[in-house]
Each structure stands twice: as structure tokens, then as C-alpha cells.
């Protein structure tokens, strides 16, 4: 009987590998999807004295985009926000670890794609959002619940295929 | 015309493989000499055909035949000739063709170098290799035709993935495949032994040189892959526990266990069932690696085109090969006799312990690699397993195995004395432990990880020296000449073990003492790291053959005041638009200085990442020594001598050779 054990192991492994063929390993969803967006209050970049908190936009559907001034892909993504998305849905920025204080002049020079960008200089809020890379974008609904997370830059194609259907579902 | 010829030849090779896989097997079962005699010429014919097919594809690449889809997708008019040649195996289809060529090459080598083996054995081994070849050639012909034409013909190609345009990539896949595929020979010998029902010392002796050679190639392949990742991915890492890397590590671990188990089977006739199972497992893991990399079941840095039909095809083939051989094992294994007996402390028992640890480590890697798949398939959620897991489980399992490396070669077969061995090794143990405990104190204070790593490395080195001393203790005055006259197998083992020690030093030092800094640098600014001063002299545009590079000039001054220049690049490839970081490395015996250029921030300011990596080169130096040891051991004339003896009619029965006086 013992001699059949290797065969049994192989068969079990084969079954898993077969199932694996029809799964997509690249998709690791954020555990935050379906939960309330972590709360924070942070100063707004380029507007001394002003702060922003998710509670301020309760009742709206909005995007939270994590970016950094030293992230060249994020700067390319800004163009997409300005040209394509800005009129559709408000985009708020979370400026991650801007240790060199470049965000404010950069946004002033290029024109900010954000309604407001907040300054997460020590990256603590980003940790609570489980940010691993920049850029990342969260879709947050009327109740302040995260409905979707996208890792990597938003291209026009991604916007059409991934974001629009979700946003359409959120509109009354 | 040439591509069609190539395709035709591949189909022809498939037919030849089918015949090679069936008729000689039938001949061996029936005792039909004529059918068995077919095996050798068929194996050589198959190799010739596939070599032709490979040349046809290489020709299409070298002559820019963009009407071939594979060429159009993986080459470019401005791609340098050397990379056009290596692009031949840069795609899924091309690498599969290379795989079949190498498999046919191993088969042809078996055909040529097995003149002294019984005809029945040769027929079976070559037939099994033929059947394996049928599977891969069918995959090539039915799902992955590398010669497919394209219409309309594009004006230019899409260029080879820039990551593959590197010296490491020229030799990494062929070496890796030499290893993967080489284990098919060990597998074929095991299946042939199961079929014949004779799993004895002779079988182990025949398959040993083949197995060791395959292991040597795999060692080089894995090491080169790691070196490539280090230089080319720009992160300065040398091992990421990526599924693809694990796919090559698993057969390596199994193969390492196998070469040790075979030693015991050959010398003492023990563990023969286990050796057979390991031979099957090692090759199965090579196939599993192929499946994992090419099916897209796991996410990985490797970018082969993902196509579920191919995945399914490989999986079915995998199931047939592994399932079939495990069934054969289950049916045939009980018939085999147990070998000689041995005491609880003996070289046999130590080799067994080595196998247990290696296989446990293999199991841990396999579990970590497939765990995300298990959970996902069971609907229990999606996770990814990171390096933390692998480091946490792998180190404790490998450390005892490394400790045993010091004892095993010095213990006697059959029955060894533990107190005696402890007494003989007291200095090696003591000096290694004290040195390893004190060394970190001179660097930056107590560090148990470093102590453990250095202790194991020194322990292995000292016991290697002890091994030589023991061999020469009765040598007399011409001691040095005697040293050179020690058997190659012994030299090979000692060299490989010393290589392992050096590798351990590299891993320990670089993991614990490497430093890095991620900085933004205006022109003329500087940064300090580990006593080195890096001055940034700006970035200029330098055109390459098929890319435009932003090349930074960095001036580095060492703590001793010597200075040198490094030129890390950011390359923008013309055809694909891909942007790639080309790190610049200053190699040193005791450290590497590694710079990778980040992104431009405007006004000549760039982000730059600088690394100081102590002893990182020892990793690959150690791996090279491991491989050299393997090569030396495989070349031991003993194997050829034994084979020659078999020619004598009515030679001694195979098992008796286990009792013969020891050569090692």
C-alpha cells in the first residue's frame, strides 16, 4: 500500500495544477475592498493651514490616488487625470513621502490634476491603505467604502475597462 | 523555404522519436536483438534532425526573416548578431525547440558512451528518452510551432525583450536546460531498472556519472540565472524566491539528494528504492518547473506568453510521465531486495539524514511556491508568499544538512564511531565556533545569524582539509604527489563541499552586511555609503545599437582613497519602447559596488540607488566550485573502468561489486 503514496501525491498535485490553469494569479485583491476607507486628517499641499479628511467628501464618489513627486510614472498619469478623468469624478491625491518638499512647486508648475492633494510626508497613512507601490488608486463610494483598488498607472484603456464599469454601478 | 524545412524536420524527428520510444522497448521485453539495436541509430538520427531544425530557426533569426512570426516578435533589424542568435531561444517556442535539441543531445550521448552497457539496458534507456522526446516534440508541433509564418510580412521586428539582451542570458537557458534535461537520463535509467526489475549497485553505477553531469549543469544554470538577475534587474538582489527561481531550485535540491543517495546505493546496495524514487522525482520536478514557467499558473518575473492550451498540454504530459512512472514504481518496487545493513551511525545513516533534510527543504520550497495556488483553487482567498516565509523555513532545514557535510565524508561505511569522530574533529569544531563567534564582534557587534553561517562555512572548510589529511596520513615523503593522485571522485567531492562553504560565506555576509541608499542627486553632488564616496557627474545621451541610453558618470572613492568610475545606464529601446535599467557594478574580491540609475527629476537631477555588497561575489565563486567538483567527480575514470569490465562475458554479478574493496 505504501508504494502507492507517491502516485496519490502526484494525482492530488495534478488536480491543483489543473485548477490553477483557470485562475489568475496576478490578481491579489486588497483586503480593504468592501471596507470603510481608513480615516485621516492631513495638510493640503500648497495651501498652508488647510487640511483634508475623507469625512469632508462623504456622500460623493471619489478617487484617492497615491503618488510621489519623484515617481515619473505618476507624473505621466497626471496627464490622464487632467485630460480624461477630472470631469468625470473628483480625484484626490495622497502625496507619499515627499521628503524633499517638491510636490507643491511641481503641482503649481504643471497644473494640479487633483481637487486637493494631501501631504503624507512620513507615509503613515499610505501604510494604512496597504500601499506597496506608486501609483495606486482607490475608488471610494458615497458611504466612504472602498469599492476598488488599482495598482499601477491608469491608462485610457484601464480607465475604460476597469474603472468605468465600477463607477457606472455606483451612480444612482 | 528554410523555415518550412525546419518545420518538416521537426515533424520527422517526432516520427523518429515515436519509433525510438516503442520498438526498442518491445525488443527489450521480447529479447529481440534486432529491435533493440534500433535504439542507438534512431537516437543519433533524432539528434541530427533536431540540430538541423534548430539551425533553421537560428538562420531565420540571423538573416532577419521577419516573415517568421517568432522572428518578427523577438528580433529587430538593429539587434546585434549575438543577440539575434540567442533570440533563437528567447521565446517560448524557440526555447522549447532548444529543450528538444538538448534532450536529443543527451540521448545521442547515451547512445555513444554506453557501448559497454548490456544491450537490453541501452534499449530501454533510449526508448524512455524517446518517449519523453515524443511529448515535447508533440507540444512543439501541435501547440508551439516556432516556424509559423506571418502575412503580411512586417517591415521590422518587435525586438527581443531587453532583459534578455545580456551576456548572462546567452548561456543561462542552455545550461539550465542541460541540467533539467540531463536528469531525464537519470530518470530513464531508473525506469529501465524498474522495467527490468533489477535495481542493483550496477544500475546506480551506470547512472551516477550521468546524474552528476546533469547536476553540474543545473548548478551552473541556477548560478548564472542568479547572476543575471543581479546584474540585469537593477535591484541588486541575487535571489528573490520567485516561482521561476524556485522551479530551478527544486530539481537542484532533489538532484543533490539523488547524487548522494546513488553513492550509497552504488557502494553498499542500500536505498535503491529511494534512489529510484528520487530519480523520478528529480526529473518530475524539472518538468513541473517547465509547467510552472510556461503555463502562467503562478505569477512570476518570467514573461513567457501564457496560453491555457499549452498549459493543459504540458500538464497532461506531466501527468502521463509522473503518473506512469509512479504507477510503475508502485507495481515494481516491492519486488526489489533490500541492500546491506548498516549501523545507526555510519556513512549510510548520515547520507540518509542529508537526504531527509534536503527533501524537507525541497518540500518547504514546493509548499511555499504552490501555496497561493492551493488556497486560490480551494476558494480560500488569494495570497502571495514572500521571502520571509522561505527564509524562515529554508535556513533551519539547510543548516543541519550543512553541518552533516562536515561529518559525512569522514565517517566510515557500515559502522562508524561517534566518540572517535568527535575526538578527531574537536579542533575543527572549536576553532570554527570561536572564530565565527568573534568575527561579527569586529564588524558591528554580536550577530547570531552571521555566527551560524560562518561557523557552518568554516566547519565545512576545516573538515575538507581534515579529509585530505586523513587520506595522506600514511603517505610518507612524497605526500604532494600522492595528493594529486587521489581519485578524481574524491577531489570532486571535496571541491564541491569547499564551494558550498564559500557560497555560505557569500550568502551570510551579503544578507547581513549589505547597505544601500536611495538618493536624489543634482550634478556635482555626492553621497557616502560604507566609507565609499559617490560623486555624480551628470547624465549624457549615448546611442547604442538598438537603444538610446542615458549614461550617468559616477566617480567613486574607496575608503582607502583609490578612485574609479562607473557608468550606470537607463536605456530606451527603439523598437519596443521598453525602458531598462542597466546597473553598473565594480566587482571586488571582498565587495561589489553597485549603482543603478533611477529616474530623471528635471534640471539634471536624477534618483540614484547605490549599494555596497560585501562578499557577494563569493556566491557565484562558490557555485562555480560546486560545479567544478561535480564535473571532476563525473569524470572519474573509475566509471569507465567498471563499464569496460562488464564487457567480459560472465562478469561478476552486479551486486557483488558492492562488496568489492573500496575505491573511495
Q: What is the CATH number of the domain that holds A51?
A: 3.40.30.10
Q: Is the pLDDT at B231 greater than 70, yes or no? A: yes
- Chain B within 8 Å of A151 (Cβ-Cβ)? no
Kindly report the backbone phi and psi dihedral angles of residue A146, in degrees, each rounded to the nearest multiple of 5, phi listed first: -75, 125
Q: Is B372 on the interface with A (CB under 8 A)?
A: yes
CA B607 to chain centre: 36
With 0-12 / 13-18 / 19 or more C-beta atoms within 10 angstroms meaning exposed / middle / buried, residue B56 is: buried
Distance CA B456, CA B462 (A): 10
- Compute the mean pLDDT over every residue in chain A, rounded to the nearest whole number: 84
What is the model's pLDDT at position B454?
94
- The per-residue pLDDT for A24 is 63
Residue A85 to chain B, least CA–CA distance (Å): 25
Total number of domains in chain A: 1
Q: Do A20 and B284 touch (CB under 8 A)?
A: no
CA B167, CA A119: separation in Å to the nearest integer?
44
Domain assignment of residue B45, yes or no: yes
Confidence grade of residue A172 (pLDDT, cut at 50, 70, 90): low
Position A95 in a domain? yes
pLDDT at B376: 80
**Chain A interface disruption, residue of B373, B379, B386, B579, most A CBs within 10 A:** B373
Reported confidence tier of residue B652, pLDDT bands at 50, 70, 90: very low
8 Å CB contact of A7 and B383? no
Q: Which residues of B touch A20 (CB under 8 A)?
A: 295, 297-298, 373, 376-377
Out of B144, B159, B174, pick the residue that ends a domain.
B159
Q: Verify whether the Cβ–Cβ distance A22 to B299 is below 8 Å.
A: no
Distance CA B569, CA B535 (A): 16
Q: Which residue range forms the structural domain that includes residue A76? A: 27-170
Of the three residues B159, B180, B208, the one that is the final residue of a domain is B159
**What's the length of chain A?**
172
Q: Would you say residue A15 lies in a domain?
A: no
Find the helix or strand (DSSP H, E) in which B124 lies.
Answer: helix B119-143
Q: Decide if B323 and A70 are in contact by the 8 Å CB cutoff.
A: no
- Domain annotation covers residue A60: yes
Across the interface, do A17 and B297 touch by the CB < 8 Å criterion? yes
Is residue B375 less than 8 Å (CB to CB) from chain A? no
Is there a domain that residue A81 lies in? yes
| Best mutation target, A1, A4, A5, A6, to test chain B (most B CBs within 10 A) | A6
Q: Residue B566 is inside which H or E element, if any? A: strand B563-566
Residue of B nearest to A30 (CA): B382
Q: Which of B126, B159, B192 is the last residue of a domain?
A: B159
Per cent of chain B over pLDDT 70 is 93
Confidence of residue B477 (pLDDT cuts 50, 70, 90): confident
Q: Is residue A2 part of a domain?
A: no
pLDDT at residue B73, as a whole number:
83
User: Which residue is closest to B367 within chain A, CA to CA?
Assistant: A13
Contact check, Cβ <8 Å, A71/B599: yes
Query: A58 in a domain, yes or no?
Result: yes
Contact A121, A44 (CB under 8 A): no
**Average pLDDT of every residue of chain B:** 86
Digit-coded pLDDT (tens) for B491-518:
999 999 999 999 999 999 999 999 988 8
Query: Which has more pLDDT, B21 or B157?
Result: B21
Q: What percent of chain A has pLDDT over 70?
A: 94
pTM: 0.82
| Cα–chain center distance at B446 | 35
pLDDT of amino acid B267: 86
User: Can you name the residues that pair with B614 across neighbouring β-strands?
Assistant: B591
The parent domain of residue B526 ranges over 515-617
Please state, as a whole number, how many other Cβ atoms lie within 10 Å of the Cβ of residue A46: 16
B-contacting residues in A 64-103 (Cβ below 8 Å)? 69-72, 100, 102
Residue B618 has pLDDT above 90, yes or no: yes
Cα separations in angstroms, B579 against B233, B550, B575:
12, 11, 11
Of B358, B380, B384, B354, which Cα lies nearest the Cα of B241?
B384
Residue B648's pLDDT is 44
Contact B599 A70 (CB under 8 A): yes
The minimal CB distance from B323 to the residues A11, A21, A69 is found for: A11
Packing angle, helices B243-268 and B167-196, rounded to 10 = 40
Burial class (CB within 10 angstroms; exposed 0-12, middle 13-18, buried 19+) of B439: middle
B330-380 pLDDT, tens digit per residue, is 888 755 555 677 888 888 899 999 999 999 999 999 999 888 888 888 877
**Which residues in chain A are closer than 8 Å to B382, comparing Cβ atoms?**
27-29
Task: Domain count for chain B, please give it.
Answer: 2
pLDDT tens per residue across span B240-288: 888 888 889 999 999 999 999 999 988 888 888 899 999 999 999 999 8
Residue ranges in B296-346 assigned as alpha helix (H): 308-318, 324-332
Specify if A5 maps to a domain: no
Asked if the C-beta of B605 comes within 8 angstroms of chain A's C-beta atoms, the answer is no
Amino acid at each position: 500500500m505504501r508504494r502507492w503514496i507517491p502516485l496519490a501525491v502526484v494525482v492530488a498535485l495534478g488536480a491543483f495544477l489543473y485548477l490553477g490553469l483557470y485562475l489568475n494569479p496576478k490578481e491579489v485583491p486588497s483586503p480593504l475592498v468592501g471596507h470603510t476607507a481608513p480615516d485621516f486628517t492631513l495638510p493640503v499641499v500648497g495651501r498652508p493651514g488647510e487640511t483634508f479628511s475623507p469625512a469632508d467628501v462623504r456622500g460623493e464618489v471619489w478617487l484617492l490616488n497615491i503618488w510621489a513627486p519623484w515617481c515619473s510614472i505618476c507624473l505621466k498619469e497626471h496627464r490622464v487625470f487632467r485630460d480624461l478623468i477630472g470631469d468625470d469624478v473628483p480625484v484626490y491625491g495622497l502625496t507619499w513621502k515627499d521628503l524633499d518638499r517638491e510636490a507643491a512647486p511641481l503641482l503649481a508648475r504643471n497644473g494640479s490634476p487633483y481637487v486637493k492633494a494631501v501631504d503624507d510626508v512620513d507615509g503613515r497613512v499610505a501604510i494604512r491603505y496597504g500601499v506597496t507601490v506608486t501609483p495606486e488608486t482607490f475608488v471610494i463610494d458615497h458611504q466612504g467604502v472602498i469599492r476598488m483598488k488599482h495598482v499601477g498607472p491608469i491608462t485610457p484603456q484601464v480607465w475604460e475597462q476597469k474603472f468605468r464599469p465600477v463607477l457606472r454601478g455606483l451612480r444612482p | 523555404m528554410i523555415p518550412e524545412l525546419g518545420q518538416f524536420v521537426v515533424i520527422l524527428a517526432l516520427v523518429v522519436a515515436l519509433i525510438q520510444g516503442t520498438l526498442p522497448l518491445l525488443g527489450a521485453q521480447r529479447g529481440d536483438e534486432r529491435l533493440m539495436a534500433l535504439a542507438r541509430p534512431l537516437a543519433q538520427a533524432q539528434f541530427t534532425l533536431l540540430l538541423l531544425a534548430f539551425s533553421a530557426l537560428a538562420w531565420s533569426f540571423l538573416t532577419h526573416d521577419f516573415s517568421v512570426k517568432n522572428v518578427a516578435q523577438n528580433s529587430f533589424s538593429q539587434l546585434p548578431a549575438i543577440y539575434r542568435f540567442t533570440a533563437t531561444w528567447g521565446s517560448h517556442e524557440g526555447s522549447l525547440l532548444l529543450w528538444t535539441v538538448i534532450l536529443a543531445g543527451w540521448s545521442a550521448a547515451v547512445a555513444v558512451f554506453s557501448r559497454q552497457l548490456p544491450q537490453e539496458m541501452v534499449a530501454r534507456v533510449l526508448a524512455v528518452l524517446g518517449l519523453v522526446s515524443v511529448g515535447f516534440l508533440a507540444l512543439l508541433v501541435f501547440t508551439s510551432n516556432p516556424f509559423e509564418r506571418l502575412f503580411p510580412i512586417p517591415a521590422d521586428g518587435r525586438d527581443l525583450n531587453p532583459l534578455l539582451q545580456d551576456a548572462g542570458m546567452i548561456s543561462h537557458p542552455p545550461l539550465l536546460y542541460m541540467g533539467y534535461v540531463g536528469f531525464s537520463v537519470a530518470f530513464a535509467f531508473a525506469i529501465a531498472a524498474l522495467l527490468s526489475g533489477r535495481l542493483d549497485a550496477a544500475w546506480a553505477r551506470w547512472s551516477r556519472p550521468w546524474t552528476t553531469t546533469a547536476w553540474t549543469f543545473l548548478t551552473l544554470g541556477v548560478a548564472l540565472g542568479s547572476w543575471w538577475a543581479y546584474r540585469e534587474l537593477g535591484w541588486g538582489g541575487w535571489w528573490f524566491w520567485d516561482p521561476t527561481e524556485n522551479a530551478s531550485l527544486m530539481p537542484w535540491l532533489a538532484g543533490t539528494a539523488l547524487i548522494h543517495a546513488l553513492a550509497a546505493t552504488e557502494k553498499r546496495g542500500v536505498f535503491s528504492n529511494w534512489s529510484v524514487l528520487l530519480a523520478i522525482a528529480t526529473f518530475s520536478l524539472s518538468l513541473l518547473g517547465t509547467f510552472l514557467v510556461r503555463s502562467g499558473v503562478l505569477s512570476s518575473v518570467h514573461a513567457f506568453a501564457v496560453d491555457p492550451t499549452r498549459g493543459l498540454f504540458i500538464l497532461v504530459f506531466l501527468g502521463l510521465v509522473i503518473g506512469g512512472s509512479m504507477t510503475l514504481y508502485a507495481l515494481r518496487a516491492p519486488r526489489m531486495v533490500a541492500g546491506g545493513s548498516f549501523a545507526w551511525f555510519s556513512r549510510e545513516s548520515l547520507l540518509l539524514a542529508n537526504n531527509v533534510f534536503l527533501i524537507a527543504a525541497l518540500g518547504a520550497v514546493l509548499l511555499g511556491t504552490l501555496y497561493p495556488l492551493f488556497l486560490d483553487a480551494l476558494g480560500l482567498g488569494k495570497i502571495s508568499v514572500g521571502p520571509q516565509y522561505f527564509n524562515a523555513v529554508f535556513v533551519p532545514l539547510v543548516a543541519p544538512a550543512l553541518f552533516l557535510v562536515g561529518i559525512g565524508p569522514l565517517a566510515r561505511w557500515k559502522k562508524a564511531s561517534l566518540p572517535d569522530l568527535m575526538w578527531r574533529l574537536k579542533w575543527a569544531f572549536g576553532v570554527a565556533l570561536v572564530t565565527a563567534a568573534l568575527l561579527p564582534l569586529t564588524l558591528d557587534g554580536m550577530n547570531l545569524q552571521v555566527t551560524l553561517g560562518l561557523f557552518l562555512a568554516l566547519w565545512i572548510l576545516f573538515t575538507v582539509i581534515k579529509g585530505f589529511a586523513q587520506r595522506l596520513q600514511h603517505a610518507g615523503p612524497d605526500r604532494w604527489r600522492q595528493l594529486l593522485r587521489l581519485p578524481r571522485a574524491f577531489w570532486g567531492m571535496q571541491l564541491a563541499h569547499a564551494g558550498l562553504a564559500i557560497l555560505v560565506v557569500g550568502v551570510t555576509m551579503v544578507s547581513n552586511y549589505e547597505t544601500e541608499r536611495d538618493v536624489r542627486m543634482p550634478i556635482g553632488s555626492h553621497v557616502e555609503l560604507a566609507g565609499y564616496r559617490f560623486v555624480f557627474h551628470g547624465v549624457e545621451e549615448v546611442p547604442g545599437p538598438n537603444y538610446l541610453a542615458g549614461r550617468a558618470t559616477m566617480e567613486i572613492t574607496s575608503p582607502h582613497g583609490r578612485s574609479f568610475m562607473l557608468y550606470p545606464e537607463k536605456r530606451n529601446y527603439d523598437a519596443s519602447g521598453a525602458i531598462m535599467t542597466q546597473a553598473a557594478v565594480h566587482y571586488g574580491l571582498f565587495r561589489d559596488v553597485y549603482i543603478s540609475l533611477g529616474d530623471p527629476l528635471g534640471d539634471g537631477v536624477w534618483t540614484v540607488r547605490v549599494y555596497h555588497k560585501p562578499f557577494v561575489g563569493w556566491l557565484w565563486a562558490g557555485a562555480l566550485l560546486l560545479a567544478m567538483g561535480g564535473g571532476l567527480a563525473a569524470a572519474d575514470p573509475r566509471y569507465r573502468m567498471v563499464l569496460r569490465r562488464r564487457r567480459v562475458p560472465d562478469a561478476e554479478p552486479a551486486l557483488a561489486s558492492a562488496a568489492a574493496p573500496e575505491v573511495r
